Amino acid sequence: MRPAFKWMVQARRAITAGLLLVFTGLVAMANDVITAGGDLGIDVSPLDGRIVMDLRGAIWTLPAAGGLATLLVDDEATLRRPRWSPDGSSVLFEAVSANGSRIRIRQLASGEVRQISDDNIHDQDGAWHPGGNRIVYASDRRGSGLDLWETDLPTGLSWRLTSDEGDETQPAWSANGRHLAWISKRGRHYALMLRRHGEGDVALIESVVPISSPAWRPDGSLITFLRHAAAGTTLEMAILAEPLLVRVIASDEKFVTAPVSWRDRMQMLYAADGMIRSRGFENRRSRPLHFRAVTRQATSPPPRAIVRRELEIVDPPGGRLIIRCTRLFDGIWQGYRPGMDIVIESGRVVAIEPRRDRDDGIVLDLGNVTVIPGLIDAMAPPPDSQASGAAILAYGITTIVTPQLQFSFDPAVWESEMTPGPRLLQLDATDIAVEIESFADSALPGLDDLLHSRQAAALGHGKMPPRRFASLPDPSRISPDIIVGSRPNRLSAGVALHAELLALQAAGLTPERALRAVGSNAARGLGLENQVGTITPGALADLVLVNGDPLADVAEALKIVAVVRNGRFFSLVSLLELARQAPGVE
């Protein structure tokens, strides 16, 4: 996984529908001289040895010997993985946003930028055919995983090269244009694949740890690649002899996940340790190729303060309700509080006490249940209609944030016992001073089970989302205070937020951190702290009763038995029945 997963964060800042950091006052500009970068991806021109690189989300060119870099392309999207055309007249690159990756070509002479990808299709890992008129890339245009496709540039015609299960990515043509190498991934199984001209596909190397970044030596004698083991990443080569020989080239550097680029058959360039490195084929050590890039860096005043919002309870239920649970995750303390009674009056939590015999209210004891705070979707898909409230509530989502709706909506309707729904806050980017993250796409582990869950099956929410990202985020780069919104993944409201929970867990976050991203973190960022997102005296009584252990596996947060919203109890069965009966709901 690329250390530069920051490009995903940068891309999301460009989403018009997103909730972005809001700044006030004048913006000052200052020069920023860059001499290293953890996100470097480089390529050497076969024409004159010039280097093209991606740095801080833009594309730069560099003299063959290094030195001062020249900005070639910048954009609101994050730009990465540049590749010189065989004649050196243009550069192919990826433009990455939260909606996916698109392949573009920049002509050097005219400055014209041509987009090869359709706006609705995720394409990645673009590479040139040595003939210069075709490009090969990985695409999810069939919605069944990444396959290799090729496009003829003069005609615009495209055709599919592979159709195997799983993902086929990172294609690389040999210098004579006759043989194609790529990476195949099926589950946790990886392979370096080779298709020789006129022959069938062969797995040169099979691995249970990730391998990536194949690149041909110009004479076609070997393919270099990266192997990403727990002990570190190694640069290796598969020598195309009989039998095949695999040798380690280097293991003492922190390699960027990108193919090496060959100046000639004896010298390769690659990025490692934040630098461009040059290595002779027979040398044990590499040497740095120094560069400097000068940018105009914006310096801004601090973000606008979060606005405190006070929530009202409309038509709260009467009497006292006690929810008895085996385990309570209150969203405040770490882990569970065992054997607790949650006391609710007038729609609010008034006490949390150890379990005891009681005659001071209605006690609901549903057995071995876990209680967690109601979930908050801080950037939710807009509801299909006013009738879709029960369907969203069935996923345990008790608060959603969405901009102005396209239809007339009376929020009081979702306060009713007969037409329940989540609390809806109609806010847009100018109302909120927090950044919202979204990570889920069609490659998400566990997605198939989610789309066949009880709720999704009953409500017809089984549609697969589009592919948006090449890989999951680096967990070390995810803020402890992360806030999640589901709108960018384009799933239906409700199931979309659970996909984001799965994505956070798959990226390496603990289930507890994932739940805080849709609980206490979201409440704090929206100015609703101590009102929702936690279960504490004085907070609104928004609870999800789960038959499982969501702190062991966040997928179990969907094993919902019942939902309490503003102190009103709804069984899952009743919510699904109300959703099915509602007009205009899928």
User: What's residue 46's pLDDT?
Assistant: 86
Least Cα distance to 148 among 163, 165, 132, 166 occurs for: 163
Can you tell me the mean pLDDT for 360-372? 95
As a whole-number percent, the residues of the chain with pLDDT over 90 amount to: 72
Mean pLDDT of all residues belonging to the chain: 89
Distance CA 58, CA 44 (A): 17
Burial (CB count <10 Å: 0-12, 13-18, 19+), residue 154: exposed
User: What's residue 24's pLDDT?
Assistant: 35
Angle at 29 between CA 25 and CA 32, to 5 degrees: 140
Can you tell me the mean pLDDT for 323-328? 97
- Residues 6 or more apart whose CB falls under 8 angstroms from that of 458 comprise 394, 576, 579, 580
User: What's residue 28's pLDDT?
Assistant: 45
Least confident of 9-18, 44-53, 90-99, 403-412: 9-18
- Domains defined for the chain, CATH in brackets: 26-299 (2.120.10.30), 320-581 (2.30.40.10)
Q: What is the 3-state secondary structure (H, E, C) of 420-461?
A: CCCEEEECCCCCCCCCCECCCCCCCCCHHHHHCCHHHHHHCC
User: Tokens 């739940």 — which residue?
Assistant: 515
Backbone angles phi, psi at 538, to 5 degrees: 100, -20
Residue 443: CA atoms inside 13 Å, Cβ hemisphere, count? 25
- The confidence band for 299, taking pLDDT boundaries of 50, 70 and 90, is low
Backbone angles phi, psi at 426, to 5 degrees: -90, 90
pTM above 0.85, yes or no: no
Distance CA 380, CA 403 (A): 9
User: What's residue 15's pLDDT?
Assistant: 32
Tens digits of residue pLDDT in 418-451: 899 999 998 887 778 788 999 999 889 999 999 9
- The confidence band for 408, taking pLDDT boundaries of 50, 70 and 90, is confident
Least Cα distance to 215 among 241, 192, 186, 232 occurs for: 192
| Contact in structure between 519 and 534 (CB atoms under 8 Å) | yes
Least Cα distance to 381 among 443, 413, 424, 338 occurs for: 424
Least Cα distance to 175 among 128, 226, 225, 107 occurs for: 128
Tens digits of residue pLDDT in 125-137: 999 999 999 999 9
Strand order in the sheet with 267-272: 261-264, 267-272, 275-280, 287-289
Three-state SS at 577: helix
| CA dihedral over 583, 315, 372, 21, signed as positive or negative | positive
Choose between 31 and 317: higher pLDDT.
Answer: 317
Longest dimension (CA), the chain: 86
Can you tell me the mean pLDDT for 62-72? 95
**pLDDT of 120 higher than 50:** yes
| CA dihedral over 327, 329, 330, 332, signed as positive or negative | positive
**pLDDT of 537 higher than 90:** yes
Distance CA 358, CA 341 (A): 10
Distance CA 449, CA 506 (A): 14
Q: Is 395 left (phi over 0), alpha (psi -120 to 50) or beta?
A: alpha
User: What's residue 20's pLDDT?
Assistant: 31
- The confidence band for 478, taking pLDDT boundaries of 50, 70 and 90, is confident
Distance CA 70, CA 315 (A): 63
| Contact in structure between 126 and 103 (CB atoms under 8 Å) | yes
User: What's residue 119's pLDDT?
Assistant: 82
- Residues 6 or more apart whose CB falls under 8 angstroms from that of 309 comprise 425, 526, 527, 528
Bridge partners for 323 per DSSP: 342, 364
Q: How far is CA 385 from CA 91, 326, 462, 497, 558, in A?
A: 46, 37, 19, 18, 23
| CA dihedral over 56, 61, 66, 69, signed as positive or negative | negative
Distance CA 162, CA 168 (A): 7
- The confidence band for 1, taking pLDDT boundaries of 50, 70 and 90, is very low
- The confidence band for 452, taking pLDDT boundaries of 50, 70 and 90, is very high
Tens digits of residue pLDDT in 150-190: 999 999 999 999 998 889 999 999 999 999 999 999 988 99
Distance CA 305, CA 283 (A): 55
Choose between 39 and 55: higher pLDDT.
Answer: 55
- The confidence band for 4, taking pLDDT boundaries of 50, 70 and 90, is very low
